[in-house]
């Protein structure tokens, strides 16, 4: 197995019409590489993992919400050697009431599928919170030395990239990240008006190992809002440029003073006014003075 995989021929297993289904050949390669004897999949969709395992003559424990298994709230029944997980990519494809009837799941299993379906989380933050809960629960079920492979992707909305790989919790040892080239994507069939974005044509396979019991590292993404006036490594040039830009491209000198006082950048300099003036005159290709106002060039 290499760090970039591409399966133009999907392979045999699962239902190719079940949206978001995974290539059986990826699971085959993972089984062969890790010499898996027992594989579990707690979001198995149309059953691709089971089909591959049967063909490989190994044991498979497969579950899905469409079969009455709620990974968010139910216990993971097994102690696992290897877990393959292919969660929804937020709401890119919604499953309950699209790929199966939520009412049937509630009637048969007493589970409100719409409430626990990760593809129907109310926003990205809610999705990541629930995704991480599922990740940690599954990883904890691994035996010492066990592995977990997570197939995930990115999505783009309104000019912003939402990356599962960047924000998913990463417990244990990160052994590798494999890039999987996407083929036959539904979105690639369409032409978009003013297509000024980069089309996503790959997914990631995050490979994790549980090297120790009880205590192991977990990487969590932390998103913060930063004011550059409080960041030590930012230069005065860029602080002042941002202040002028935010003011509409022109500003009075005393207003610049007012907008740096009280922040760490100013607290570390005992001659703030002098520093501001020095910076303005030192970068005449960026700033210029006219009719009592400072402008950005």
Q: Distance between CA 246 and CA 72 in Å, rounded?
A: 44
Q: Distance between CA 25 and CA 32 in Å, rounded?
A: 10
- Contact between residue 220 and residue 271 where contact means Cβ atoms under 8 Å apart: no
Domain-terminating residue out of 173, 198, 219: 219
CATH of the domain at 24: 3.40.50
Q: Are strands 170-171 and 160-163 parallel, antiparallel or unpaired?
A: unpaired
Q: What residue spans of 37-101 are helical by DSSP H? A: 48-56
- Contact between residue 134 and residue 118 where contact means Cβ atoms under 8 Å apart: yes
- Contact between residue 83 and residue 42 where contact means Cβ atoms under 8 Å apart: yes
Cβ-proximal residues to 46 (8 Å cutoff; 6+ apart), any chain: 14, 15, 18, 21
Convert the pLDDT of each residue in 99-126 to its tens digit.
999 999 999 999 999 999 999 999 999 9
38 and 114 part of one domain: yes
Residue-number span of the structural domain to which 145 is assigned: 4-219
Does the pTM exceed 0.85?
yes
Domain-terminating residue out of 184, 202, 219: 219
195 and 259 part of one domain: no
130 and 9 part of one domain: yes
Residue with tokens 């079969």: 67
Q: Distance between CA 132 and CA 121 in Å, rounded?
A: 13
27 and 116 part of one domain: yes
Convert the pLDDT of each residue in 52-104 to its tens digit.
999 999 999 999 999 999 999 999 999 999 999 999 999 999 999 999 999 99
């Amino acid at each position: 197995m290499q760090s970039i995989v591409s399966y133009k021929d999907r392979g045999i297993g699962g239902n190719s019409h079940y949206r978001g289904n995974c290539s059986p050949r990826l699971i085959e390669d993972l089984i062969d590489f890790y010499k898996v004897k027992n594989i579990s999949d707690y979001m198995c969709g149309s059953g691709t993992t089971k089909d591959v395992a049967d063909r490989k003559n190994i044991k498979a424990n497969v579950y899905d919400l469409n079969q009455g298994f709620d990974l968010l709230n139910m216990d993971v029944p097994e102690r696992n050697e290897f877990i393959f997980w292919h969660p929804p990519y937020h709401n890119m494809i919604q499953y309950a009431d699209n790929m199966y009837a939520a009412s049937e799941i509630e009637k048969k299993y007493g589970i409100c599928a719409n409430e626990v379906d990760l593809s129907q989380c109310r926003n990205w933050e809610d999705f990541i919170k629930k995704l991480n809960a599922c990740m940690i629960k599954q990883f904890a079920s691994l035996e010492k030395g066990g592995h977990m492979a997570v197939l995930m992707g990115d999505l783009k909305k309104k000019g912003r990239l939402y990356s599962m790989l960047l924000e998913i919790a990463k417990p244990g040892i990160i052994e590798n990240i494999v890039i999987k080239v996407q083929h036959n994507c539904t979105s690639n069939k369409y032409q978009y008006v003013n297509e000024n974005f980069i089309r996503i044509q790959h997914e990631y396979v995050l490979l994790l190992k549980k090297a120790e019991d009880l205590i192991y590292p977990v990487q969590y993404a932390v998103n913060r809002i930063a004011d550059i006036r409080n960041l030590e490594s930012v230069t005065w040039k860029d602080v002042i440029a941002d202040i002028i830009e935010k003011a509409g491209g022109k500003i009075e000198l005393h207003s610049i003073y007012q907008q740096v006082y009280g922040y760490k950048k100013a607290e570390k300099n005992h001659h703030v006014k002098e520093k501001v003036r020095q910076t303005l005159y030192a970068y005449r290709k960026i700033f210029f003075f006219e009719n009592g106002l400072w402008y950005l060039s």
